[in-house]
Structure 1
Amino acid sequence: MLDVTRASPDARAYARAEELVSLLTDLYGAGLTRIAELAGEHAPHLVPHLIADELVASLMLVHGLHPDGLAQRVEVALESVRPMLAGHGGDVELLDVDEDAAAVHLRLLGSCDGCPSSASTLQNAVEEAILAAAPEIAIIDVEEPTETPGPGSVPITLGPKPEYTSCPAEPVAP
């Protein structure tokens, strides 16, 4: 809607719409902050349930209210895919989280290291888990195998995720 308003011949309409969105975001953020404070004070047993809810957790992330740090959220995401990787004789190790660069550095272990299907395994399972838990991550870097890869192996390097000027899921206005 902001993009449609931006294309309007009235530049003031876009500025007003953008200000309205900002004010509403601030209002809802303040309300969510208060809810989180009250839950922490009066119903601390509720906080883990709020964090476990995907929608509530994502709102808490947007407003800087999520109680778990970035490295902890990434590790939890990796824990969620480890059983699947173990089923293929592999694992993934978190080497570093660089909050300033919004980057995660990983190493594949076991059979996943150098496995031809590692690229799709990492791309689909590990990356999705990390980005769901830590949407602020822009770079997922995978350490190359130190051994000489065998025949048919595929080296894996993920670059930065694309930056969009608008939501790619939104329909384009005619």
Structure 2
Amino acid sequence: MTAAATQSAPSPQQTAARVEELLDRLAAQDPAAAATAEELVRALMEFYGAGLARAVGLLSGRSGAPLDALLADEVTAGLLVLHDLHPDDLAARVGRALRAADAGALEIAELDAADARLTLRQTADAAHGCGCPSTNATLGDRIEASLSCFAPEITTVEIVTEQAPREPALLQIGRRPAAASEAR
């Protein structure tokens, strides 16, 4: 597939939304046809899942790292996760998502699989970005889109920024004003 074809391919999120929209539209018009269409989608999912499982099995036995390119690709990784074939654990897939979202200034503070929650914090050497809310929102959007492919089980992402410790206020001790000392 050429680079242009890869860039024009719909994302897994777009494809899922489109399939859902088409099935809903069909269900509104003809419930029996919608049930048949859903069965067709399930049959195709099973077929593609079996094909992907076989491809992963064949590539896994090779020397080197032939799976790396597939695992780093958002579309392929999304398919592998969808079919429960992705060989990486959740933490590794979250790491891939952060690299794909170019979130190098963030590190995982907490990954709670049970609550489907990811908390990220800025690294100590984070030199780029102003830390303003709009920058964090844009980065958050990129991270959430990437997670939807690599680790869709994560539903909540929080980016925390830790403020540098503040210096204590300087207490200044001086002489009393003349009026105050004369009143005594």
TM-score normalized with structure 2 length: 0.62
Q: Paired residue for 1:3?
A: 24
Aligned-partner residue type, residue 61 of structure 1: V
Query: How far 1:6 sits from its partner (Å)?
Result: 0.7
For the residues of structure 2 that align with 1:116 and 1:52, how far apart are their CA atoms?
A: 29
Are the counterparts in 2 of residues 2 and 14 from structure 1 also a CA contact under 8 Å?
yes
Name the residue aligned to 1:18.
38
What is the CA-CA distance between 1:47 and the residue it aligns to? 0.8
**Aligned-residue offset at 1:75:** 2.6
What is the aligned partner in structure 2 of residue 95 from structure 1? 109
**Matched residue, 1:125:** 139
After superposition, where does 1:41-80 map in structure 2 within 5 Å? 41-42=61-62, 45-79=65-99, 80=102
Q: Which has the higher contact order (CA 8 A, sep 6+)?
A: 2
RMSD over aligned CA atoms reads 2.8
Q: State the AA in 2 paired with 1:140.
A: V
- AA aligned to 1:139 is T
Distance 1:117 1:53 in 2: 29
1:137 aligns with 2:154: yes
Deviations 1:51-108 (A, max 9, x none): 12332122112111122222122234435322xxxxxxxx423111112222101223
Partners of 1:6 and 1:14 within 8 A in 2: yes
Q: How far 1:125 moved relative to its partner?
A: 2.2
The one-letter code matched in structure 2 to 1:37 is G
- 2:57 corresponds to which of 32, 37, 50: 37
Contact 1:127/1:140 (8 A) holds in 2: no
CA contact (8 A) 2:72 2:96 kept: no
1:130 & 1:142 partners in 2: Cα distance? Answer: 11
Q: Which runs of 5+ in 2 are unaligned?
A: 1-21, 167-184
Q: Which amino acid aligns with 2:138?
A: N
Q: 1:15-63 CA deviation, whole Å, 9 max, x = no partner? A: 1111111111111101110111011124653211221233212211211
Aligned-residue sequence identity (percent) comes to: 34
- Secondary structure at the residue paired with 1:37? helix
Query: 1:50 aligns to what SS in structure 2?
Result: helix
- TM-score for the superposition, normalised by structure 1: 0.65
Following the alignment from structure 1 to structure 2, what is the Cα–Cα distance between the partners of residues 144 and 93?
11
Unaligned runs of 5+ in 1: 83-90, 150-174
Q: Flag the 1:146–1:42 CA change in 2: closer, same or farther, 3 A.
A: closer
Q: Distance in 1 between matches of 2:125 and 2:65?
A: 40
Q: Which has the higher helix share?
A: 2
Supply the distance in 1 between the matched residues of 2:56 and 2:125 (Cα, whole angstroms).
43
Looking at structure 1, the residues matched to 161 and 72 of structure 2 have their Cα atoms a distance apart, in angstroms, of 33
What number of residue pairs does the alignment pair up? 138
Aligned counterpart, 2:7: none
Cα distance in 1, alignment partners of residues 67 and 130 from structure 2: 41
